[in-house]
Amino acid sequence: MSAPLHPTRGYIGGGTIAGVLGLSPFKTPLDEYLQIVNELQDEITPEKMRFFKRRKALEPFAAECFEEAMGLRIIRRNERYQDATFSWAKAEVDFEVEGGGNGETKTVHPNAVKDWGDPETEEPPLYVTAQAMWGMGVHPAPHCYVHALVGLDDDRIYRIERDDDLIADIRAKALSFWTHYVLARRMPPPTSVEDLLRLYPRSSGRAVEASTEIQLALQERDRSVQIIKAQELHKLAQDLQIKMFMRDAENLTVGGMTVATWKARTDGVRTFRIR
């Protein structure tokens, strides 16, 4: 008998879709499958609990920041919607604004800000765009605002316009995942080392003969190792050339701008860094 679906995770939602599509930096398709069919439970560590609690506490502040920056009033927050066509498709929309438009709020650590470019010229990370499109598919809207709150004083607000072709493609892939894997109780193939370790946490002690394809992979890996070694030797030679030029200098400049440093630490060891 097939295992029953988990009552709260037996669906594909906005937080799931990027992993299902293979776009998430956090979850693989296998991760999402195992959670949907209730064969993998998220471990709620104290760190995760603290993160979720703080993010929840930040929501009113983030909403106020958005309204102030955009001059738009938020009329609903944290509504979960059921898709009109597929019973397994849902979306929790973080906020909705007057005049139409979904919204997603993201708290971004300053160390991860490199993934979030200028809202005037760039889009948010692809996995966030996928979530926004999924939400507009489940709860139709002309556009979705993505409000990235970096730290406490850097608001990056992206407006993602509805793309019906992209939404249709995402929904078709989600349907295929649901039919081919979830309903059939067939695990997606592993796509990361973490997936493999989840499936095979221990070695069996057996031997397996390499296929022709794997023999070629072994040869390519060996070539890659040799290239890396050669590049590292080349880098060391360049470092030596630069240090010989700097001698006792602490900073190396180009056009008056510092491009490298060779500073002494408190223990007297000089550390070399390229900026």
Q: What is the pLDDT of residue 9?
A: 55
Alpha-carbon separation of residue 242 from 20, 185, 236, 247, 257 (angstroms): 48, 59, 10, 9, 16
24 & 128 share domain = yes
At a CB cut-off of 8 Å and minimum separation 6, what does 117 contact? 123
Instruction: Output the pLDDT for position 229.
Output: 96
Residues 137 and 51 in one domain: yes
Contact call for residues 72 and 65 (beta carbons, < 8 A): no
pLDDT tens digit string along 172-211? 999 999 999 999 999 999 999 999 999 999 999 999 999 9
| Same domain as 267, residue 153 | no
| Residue ranges of the chain with per-residue pLDDT less than 50 | 1-8
pTM, whole model, 2 decimals? 0.78
Residues 58 and 171 occupy one common structural domain: yes
Q: Is residue 234 part of a domain?
A: yes
What is the domain count for the chain? 2
Decide which of 182, 198, 214 is a domain's last residue.
198
Residue at a domain's end among 177, 198, 219:
198
pLDDT of residue 1: 36
60 phi and psi angles, rounded to 5 deg: -60, -40
d(CA 176, CA 186): 12
Does the residue 60 lie in any domain? yes
Identify the CATH number of the domain in which residue 74 sits: 3.90.320.10
Quote the pLDDT of residue 109.
Answer: 81
pLDDT at 6: 42
pLDDT digits (tens, 9 = 90+) for 54-80: 777 778 888 999 999 999 999 999 999
- Give pLDDT, residue 52: 74
Range of the domain at 267: 229-274
